[in-house]
Structure 1
């Protein structure tokens, strides 16, 4: 991941609502959640949520799939993985094998 892409991702996540949306979608997994359901769960106005979803999608953190009149959003886990690896790329002087404990994240931890 390039530095500018990482900065865009961090900027997109640096807002309470967007971070809540992202965390909700990570929990939902690859199936994602329809936009109106995201709004309902977060008690957000759909018109306001639209801008937040657009910011996260623009930063590459979300994918959107249209199913007739419904748009379903999901966390782009490949992009998230790239972001984490960007953060850890200099770990232990770039020797990722030496940092195995740090980078061996498992679902459900922490």
Structure 2
């Protein structure tokens, strides 16, 4: 991931509704969520949610699949992984053992 892409992702996540939406989709995992359900859970109007989902999608953090008239949204785990790699690529000045506690702490316990 380059700096420009990372900045787009950080900008997308810097707004409360978008951050909550992204975290909800991460929790939803591989099943994702229909847009209407995301709005219900977060208490966000559909037009506001649509705009925020578009920002997350353009930043590479969300992907979609059309299901008839509905759109299912998913956290883009490749985008998230790229952002985390970008943040940690120079971690600990070449001493990876110093980064191990951080990596263990953020690793999924699924």
TM-score in same-fold range (> 0.5)? yes
The range that moved more, 48-57 or 89-98, is 89-98
Moved over 4 A (4+): none
- Report the aligned-residue RMSD: 1.6
Alignment of 1:1-110 (within 5 A): 1-96=1-96, 98-104=98-104, 105-108=106-109
What are the superposed Cα offsets for residues 17-67 of structure 1, whole Å, 9 maximum, x if unpaired? 000000100000011000000000011100111000000000000000001
The answer to whether the 8 A contact 1:63-1:73 is kept is: yes
**Hey, what's the Cα distance between the residues in 2 that align with 1:85 and 1:97?**
16
The structure carrying a bigger helix percent of its residues is 2
The answer to whether the 8 A contact 1:66-1:72 is kept is: yes
**Hey, what's the Cα distance between the residues in 2 that align with 1:47 and 1:30?**
25
What is the TM-score normalised by the length of structure 1? 0.92
The answer to whether the 8 A contact 1:13-1:19 is kept is: yes
What is the TM-score normalised by the length of structure 2? 0.92
**What is the SS of the residue equivalent to 2:30?**
coil
Aligned length: 109
